[in-house]
Structure 1
Amino acid sequence: MVRQLSARRLAVAVALASLAGYLDGCGFILLGGYFVSFMTGNTTRLAVDLAHVDWSAAGLAAALITAFVMGVAAGTALTSPASDRTVHILGVITASAALAAALAPTTAPAVAGSLLAFGMGAANTVLAQRQDVAFGVTYMTGALVKVGQGVVRALRGGDRWGWSRHLLMWAAVAAGAVAGGLASSLLASSALWIATGAAGVLTSAAAVFRMRRGRARTP
């Protein structure tokens, strides 16, 4: 749960949510109205495309959903209760974004989009606890539900600010999507390289943190 995260892990969650929003903004433009992190939206698009017998569009939605699930599976396979695999999963996200950025100008959008969806699926396992995803960092419907519930609890005399972390996660996705939309408008598919750089910075920071923690534990 977001409320149980330490300050460091909350910072990681917010960074990932911002990255997810950015890539979803880029992906939405690249794919003409489909998503690379919001699978509820893609599920609706799939159903509508099937209802209209638009097999090509339905195939795109299905490919994105499948790639996302495969990304979750890959991230889960890397997750270990015995050791911190955050760096490995962030590396997968960085590699997926880089490959998508490299291929986007020369291949069908579905290929780059599927790579991004794969990375976003893996992103949901970064903060996994005991190999089970504690919460998703790429979709915010649940976060908004928590905000509404938290506000009512606060008004009833409960935790006054328990809802604020969920609102922060939603805001991170929204801000990232704004940045992604603007970057795509200016740079087209080259905007994906910005996300690749951001993911690389997160990966490097996680690697440095793990190295320092390992040294601190060494007698």
Structure 2
Amino acid sequence: MLSYDQDRRRLAIALSGLAGFVDAVGFLSANGYFVSFMSGNSTRLGVALSSGSSVALVPALLIAGFVCGVTLGALIALRTGGRRKPMILGMVATLLLIGATARWAGHETVMLASLVLAMGATNNTFQRGGEVTVGLTYMTGALVRLGQGLALWLAGKAEPGWIQWGLLWAGLLIGAVLGAFFQSQLPYGCLWIAAAWAGMMALVAIRLPAES
């Protein structure tokens, strides 16, 4: 996060907001399961397996779908190189459009599959050398780095911009608040908003200089 310029930092924060938005919609639509937070689904999978519960299939499928989304996004990144950001985000917007259409048509399973694929793919937006540099759908690492930055600040040794990790987390939180609001007030329209959000981010990414 700190190695990127201000435009890319803003893009990362906006995308973490999108992830929070979509995850809140998915969480409220899937009885407390997540479409982007796989640590939570892994814990629920472990609890279900320990009790021999048949509901273990739900988190297992969501985790598998997320991995498939990451894989698909990584393949696109490999093929598109320095222009991977707009290509990946264009795919994310398309998947969210599929999810919105599926909800409108009453196909909740297809909707959740589209959302989890989109969220997995999103994490390939920021990477170097094939490694993810900014996780957009999970914030534990960001909070750890925020805490480390705070410790360095208290010790008078902080790197400039360390607060950006807190802004990344705040982006996800604000997105989740908006997602929950629109899920309750506009359940058949909230995913259209998410798709438009992703589409706008793809257009923003097009304007960024290509990177290695």
TM-score relative to the length of structure 2:
0.92
Cα–Cα, structure 1 residues 174 and 111, in superposed 2: closer, same or farther, change >3 Å?
Answer: same
* 2:128 alignment partner, SS class: coil
1:183 aligns with 2:185: no
Once the two structures are overlaid, the 10-residue window that deviates more, 43-52 or 74-83, is 74-83
Cα–Cα, structure 1 residues 107 and 59, in superposed 2: closer, same or farther, change >3 Å?
Answer: farther
Could you tell me which residue of structure 2 aligns to residue 174 of structure 1? Answer: 173
Cα–Cα, structure 1 residues 123 and 82, in superposed 2: closer, same or farther, change >3 Å?
Answer: closer
State how 1:138-217 maps to structure 2 within 5 Å: 138-159=137-158, 162-207=161-206, 209=207
Could you tell me which residue of structure 2 aligns to residue 21 of structure 1? Answer: 20
Cα–Cα, structure 1 residues 48 and 106, in superposed 2: closer, same or farther, change >3 Å?
Answer: farther
Instruction: Find the aligned partners of 2:153 and 2:34 in 1 and give their Cα distance.
Output: 34
Could you tell me which residue of structure 2 aligns to residue 75 of structure 1? Answer: 73
- What is the CA-CA distance between 1:100 and the residue it aligns to? 0.7
Instruction: Find the aligned partners of 2:30 and 2:36 in 1 and give their Cα distance.
Output: 12
User: What is the number of residues matched between the two proteins?
Assistant: 209
Once the two structures are overlaid, the 10-residue window that deviates more, 81-90 or 28-37, is 81-90
TM-score relative to the length of structure 1:
0.89
Once the two structures are overlaid, the 10-residue window that deviates more, 156-165 or 189-198, is 156-165
| 8 Å Cα contact 1:18-1:176 kept in structure 2 | yes
Cα–Cα, structure 1 residues 189 and 35, in superposed 2: closer, same or farther, change >3 Å?
Answer: farther
* 2:191 alignment partner, SS class: helix
In structure 2, the gaps of 5 or more residues are none
* 2:82 alignment partner, SS class: coil
Instruction: Find the aligned partners of 2:81 and 2:190 in 1 and give their Cα distance.
Output: 37
Percentage of identical aligned residues: 37
Q: Which amino acid aligns with 2:87?
A: H
Instruction: Find the aligned partners of 1:39 and 1:205 in 2 and give their Cα distance.
Output: 28
Instruction: Find the aligned partners of 1:82 and 1:172 in 2 and give their Cα distance.
Output: 27
Q: Can you list the C-alpha shifts for 1:71-99, whole angstroms capped at 9, x where unaligned?
A: 11111111148432211101110011010
Q: Which amino acid aligns with 1:181?
A: A
Cα–Cα, structure 1 residues 162 and 203, in superposed 2: closer, same or farther, change >3 Å?
Answer: closer
Extract structure 1 runs of 4+ deviating beyond 6 A: none
Instruction: Find the aligned partners of 1:52 and 1:141 in 2 and give their Cα distance.
Output: 27
| 8 Å Cα contact 1:94-1:199 kept in structure 2 | yes
In structure 1, the gaps of 5 or more residues are 215-219
Could you tell me which residue of structure 2 aligns to residue 116 of structure 1? Answer: 115
Instruction: Find the aligned partners of 1:199 and 1:169 in 2 and give their Cα distance.
Output: 17
Could you tell me which residue of structure 1 aligns to residue 3 of structure 2? Answer: 4
RMSD across aligned positions (CA): 1.8
Q: Which amino acid aligns with 2:166?
A: L
Cα–Cα, structure 1 residues 9 and 47, in superposed 2: closer, same or farther, change >3 Å?
Answer: same
- What is the CA-CA distance between 1:177 and the residue it aligns to? 0.2
Could you tell me which residue of structure 2 aligns to residue 217 of structure 1? Answer: none
- What is the CA-CA distance between 1:119 and the residue it aligns to? 0.6
Instruction: Find the aligned partners of 1:38 and 1:196 in 2 and give their Cα distance.
Output: 19
- What is the CA-CA distance between 1:114 and the residue it aligns to? 1.9
